Amino acid sequence: MNLIKKLDKLPPTREKVETIEILRQATKAANALGELKGIAKTIPNQAMLINAVVLQEAKDSSEIENIITTQDELYKAIATKGKQTEQVKEVINYRKAIFTGYDLIQEQGFLRMKDLEVIQKTIVENNAGIRSMAGTVLKNNKTGEVVYTPPQEKEEILYLLNNFLEHFNLTQNDLSPLINLAILHYQFESIHPFYDGNGRTGRILNILYLMLNGLLDIPILYLSSYVNENKSEYYRLLNKVNRIDEWDEYILYILRAIEITSKRTIEKINSIKDLLNETIIIAQENEPKIYRKELVELLFEQPYSKIDFVVKRLNVERKAASRYLNKLEKIGILKSQKVGREIIYMNKELIKILKKH
């Protein structure tokens, strides 16, 4: 007997998604997020922050799908443009998809159906698009049991997806935007519009929704590290909404994820800021002749740097660029390593910070 009900369109009834406990947790999450938004602004070079955090998220979000890469593998692949493993490629595609979405939100201020398709296509690198063939079901990874059957008819998928987009783009809403984020995420995952990449596309939509609502200026809050640590709970709670239309535990989960990941990101940004200041001082004191602000900032934008990057950024000859990097290695700021034919210079203290969750 199939007890699973058909997916309703948005919005759910208010009583189901706005309990006192949810409202309290929504306030906590909003406070932490507000603080993060403020602190992010105090980083002098925003590209620095975005690069580092987005790559970390690309790695974490892909890990939910069991695409495991190491940080070193990733950065080296980016710095050297060498042969990439399938897994590294997926992570790099994910990062590209985040930036694609970010550009769309900045340019348009809303998302259309075809934008969702572009984001998903960038992740999975195929043209399958929105599901048109029946047969997609969600199974329990371990037992193989079917836990949820998303809508099968293309017409119904499109209808629900249009309804989803209407709500996604509606920035004036009675509900707190963070409660809405949780609802929208559930809905997107339950429509499950694509054959693959629904989880990763949905996680990118989360960050885009925060920016659309002015809760963040740049894409730096990601729930994936939290979801990774509490994965079975994530699946269980999505499923609880599917089965019995009980939203509260699921919404609380997402709100807690927002609060905790905001706090972690604040800590991370503070550490990066301190390290940047320390690095500037060490370079100024020990190598005043080569010290340049842009050079230090480059090492924070590209934690794995190389001579070419310095040549381009500072407009200097290769010889000079190489001398700068070697001097910075001598005073302990960088550590070099040969990868293939390239020498990669690692900002090792920064990498340590980025590796912490």
Ligand X SMILES: Nc1ncnc2c1ncn2[C@@H]1O[C@H](COP(=O)(O)OP(=O)(O)OP(=O)(O)O)[C@@H](O)[C@H]1O
Quick one: which of 254, 194, 189 has its CA closest to 7?
A: 189
Distance (Å, rounded) from C-alpha 149 to C-alpha 242? 9
Binding letters toward ligand X, positions 235-274, x by CB under 6 A: x--xx--x--------------------------------
Binding letters toward ligand X, positions 20-49, x by CB under 6 A: ------------------------------
342 binds, among Mg ion, ligand X, none (CB under 5 to 8 A by kind): none
Q: Which stretch binds Mg ion (CB under 5 A): 47-55, 90-98, 195-203, 290-298?
A: 195-203
| Cβ neighbourhood burial of 247 (10 Å; 0-12, 13-18, 19+) | buried
Q: Which stretch binds ligand X (CB under 6 A): 125-133, 191-199, 211-219, 286-294?
A: 191-199
54, two tokens: 């987005």
Q: How far is the CB of 134 from Mg ion (least distance, A)?
A: 18
228 binds, among Mg ion, ligand X, none (CB under 5 to 8 A by kind): none
Q: How far is the CB of 244 from ligand X (least distance, A)?
A: 12
Cβ-based nearer residue to Mg ion, 35 or 196: 196
342's CB contacts (< 8 A; 6+ apart) are 79, 80, 306
Using the rule CB under 6 A, is 226 a contact of ligand X? no
Distance (Å, rounded) from C-alpha 316 to C-alpha 312? 7
Using the rule CB under 6 A, is 148 a contact of ligand X? yes
335, two tokens: 């550590």
- The four Cα atoms 218, 224, 225, 228 give a dihedral, to 10 degrees, of 180
261 binds, among ligand X, Mg ion, none (CB under 5 to 8 A by kind): none
Cβ-based nearer residue to ligand X, 159 or 235: 235
99's CB contacts (< 8 A; 6+ apart) are 54
Using the rule CB under 6 A, is 159 a contact of ligand X? no
Q: Which stretch binds ligand X (CB under 6 A): 234-242, 255-263, 267-275, 294-302?
A: 234-242
Distance (Å, rounded) from C-alpha 264 to C-alpha 226? 10
From residue 249, alpha-carbon distances to 65, 186, 209, 262 in Å are: 23, 12, 21, 20
The radius of gyration of the chain from alpha carbons, rounded to an integer in Å, stands at 22
Which of 73, 196, 249, 329 contacts Mg ion by CB under 5 A? Answer: 196
Using the rule CB under 5 A, is 117 a contact of Mg ion? no
Binding stretches for ligand X (CB under 6 A): 64-65, 138, 147-148, 189-190, 196-200, 202, 235, 238-239, 242
Binding stretches for Mg ion (CB under 5 A): 196
